[in-house]
Structure 1
Amino acid sequence: MNIKALRVFRSIVLQGSLAAAAERMHMSQSAASRLIGLLEAELKITLFSRNRRKLVLTLEGEMFYQEVEQVLGGIDEMQQIAADIRHRTTEKFTFVTSPPLGASLAVPAISRMRRAHPGFECRIHVEGRFDIENKVARRRFSLGLISLPVTNAIVELDAEPVFQARVGVLLPRNHALAAESSIAAAQLAQEPVVTLQGNQLWRRRLDEIYASAGITPHIAIESTSTILVQQLVREGNGISLIDRACLHPVPDAELALRPLVPERWVTYGCIYPVQGRSPLADLFLKCLREHLRALARTGARNDLRILKPGTALAEMHP
């Protein structure tokens, strides 16, 4: 398959028109159009519907684009990978996690690593959950940090549970419920909720908690970002459910986190290829546990359970 045709296809989707894509790729519109025609003939599917000289993705084109992004993303990284191999004079640590865990846990742990082992290089990515699991399994990253268990049954990964975080209710400091030492889901029945969209893991957890209490959440605002959810709660738009691991690392005097009753805990751990972990991955785990112990000493003791190295999922408290 012609890689240049795939790049033209992606460019048309991203730029919004054949003309803009051709200009960006320094080729004529006719040459770009010819490549798309050859690609469609090879695939035996129609990628664009042509209406009033505009190219609009078909359903098949939309599905194909998602796969093309994965393929070209990998190809685009090859040059950097080759450069790393040619010039590797120090060990490199590649790490991937979600945005909230990256800010709250990965950055402090990696800062500790660099103080202990200043010579290494590091590459940090933030991705969606599926991509984290998929790319770690394909050895694109040395280590990933996610909630457990692994949800992608197709990939082969090893995992080590590191800690558990208690689910709590996030609300403005001046909210009436902030005076409570703990909060039951039933107390939230009339509260507007700020949460993630329905296809995201934290939203599914919220729906399960409300359903177990026999109530329906009053969803006021949905977002794709945990960080935005926290800001929206801070501004008084509603309450949310979250745990200490996903909170912004800087203490916030305008927000309160109160434990949910009955207790619910989320297990977090590191995932790595089945071939094993690198020494730097082991160092990261050590530094992550050190940071968690420091976090517990500053007031999160009742919200965190730090697990011993080698703990198996079956050994943990529910």
Structure 2
Amino acid sequence: MFTLGRNMHIKALRAFRITMIEGSIAKASEKMHLSQSAISRLISSLEGELKLELFLRSGRRLIPTQQAVAFDREARRILDNLDEIKRIADEIRTAQTQRLRVLAMPRVAPTLVSPTVKIFLALHSDVHLSVDVRTRRDAEQWLLGREYDLGIEPLPINHPDINSEVLLKVRAEAILPLNHPLSDKSEISASDLKDEAMIALLPNLLLRTQMEDFFHS
């Protein structure tokens, strides 16, 4: 995780973020109502503070580096939190301080989280509940940063500072052609599939890793 130094100007962070979104300094300058040279100076100061090369300069074009893509996730988190300050202050002033921040991954958000949120808010209308949908890859980092009160993610979550419990278990299913020799079986074991051709998920996905562990066992 990247951290900001005390002297880093928030405006430089916003200039970087808007440049990443818009794809050019010219468009970022329009959004921020600053000159293009001012945007360039802000980004250069950010690079100096972070000791990172965020953009490759080709004429008037800026090409984000891999370091820029990695830092952009952190910049978004920091700026999102800053944008929350006014709303949080309003809640404190009006004594509406009950907040629940939930982190969910795309696979469970529409089918599990959305119906649960509807039921919860019907019972607890005084709670301000927000749900962010993010990839599992960064889940532990977001939870450890105390950005969220609750995460709904596939296990395992192995960090010692995160308490986890099982909410539900689901069975894996095999999708087979109707005329496949295994299609009449009510249950299929790993040994049944050991010589079968399979369509696999992308490498490094959690479910892919779990399936590989299942077959290796």
Name the CA shift for 1:82/1:133 in 2 (closer, same or farther; >3 Å): farther
After superposition, residues 1-318 of structure 1 pair within 5 angstroms as 1-89=8-96, 91-152=98-159, 156-166=161-171, 168-171=172-175, 174=178, 176=180, 177-188=182-193, 189-195=195-201, 197-212=202-217
TM-score of the two chains, using structure 2 as the length reference: 0.78
Name the CA shift for 1:52/1:190 in 2 (closer, same or farther; >3 Å): farther
Residue 71 of structure 1: how far off its partner (Å): 2.4
**How many matched pairs?**
208
Residue 135 of structure 1: how far off its partner (Å): 3.1
Higher RCO (CA 8 Å, separation ≥ 6 residues):
1
CA–CA distance in 2 between the matches of 1:39 and 1:90?
35
Residue 144 of structure 1: how far off its partner (Å): 1.8
5+ residue gaps, structure 2: 1-7
Partner of 1:299: none
Residue 88 of structure 1: how far off its partner (Å): 4.4
CA–CA distance in 2 between the matches of 1:90 and 1:3?
26
Q: Secondary structure at the match of 2:175?
A: strand
Residue 21 of structure 1: how far off its partner (Å): 1.4
Contact 2:12 2:42 (8 Å CA) reproduced:
yes
Residue 127 of structure 1: how far off its partner (Å): 1.8
Residue 194 of structure 1: how far off its partner (Å): 4.8
Q: Could you tell me which amino acid in structure 2 is paired with residue 76 of structure 1?
A: D
CA–CA distance in 2 between the matches of 1:47 and 1:117?
44
CA–CA distance in 2 between the matches of 1:72 and 1:114?
27
Contact 1:90 1:119 (8 Å CA) reproduced:
no
Name the CA shift for 1:102/1:49 in 2 (closer, same or farther; >3 Å): closer
Q: Give the superposed CA RMSD.
A: 2.8
Contact 2:91 2:97 (8 Å CA) reproduced:
no
Q: Secondary structure at the match of 1:96?
A: strand
Contact 1:95 1:143 (8 Å CA) reproduced:
yes
CA–CA distance in 2 between the matches of 1:178 and 1:114?
43
**Share of identical aligned residues, percent?**
33
Name the CA shift for 1:138/1:57 in 2 (closer, same or farther; >3 Å): closer
Indicate the structure with greater strand content: 1
Q: Could you tell me which amino acid in structure 1 is paired with residue 133 of structure 2?
A: V
Q: Could you tell me which amino acid in structure 1 is paired with residue 175 of structure 2?
A: L
Q: Could you tell me which amino acid in structure 1 is paired with residue 187 of structure 2?
A: S
Contact 2:103 2:152 (8 Å CA) reproduced:
yes
5+ residue gaps, structure 1: 213-318
Residue 180 of structure 1: how far off its partner (Å): 1.7
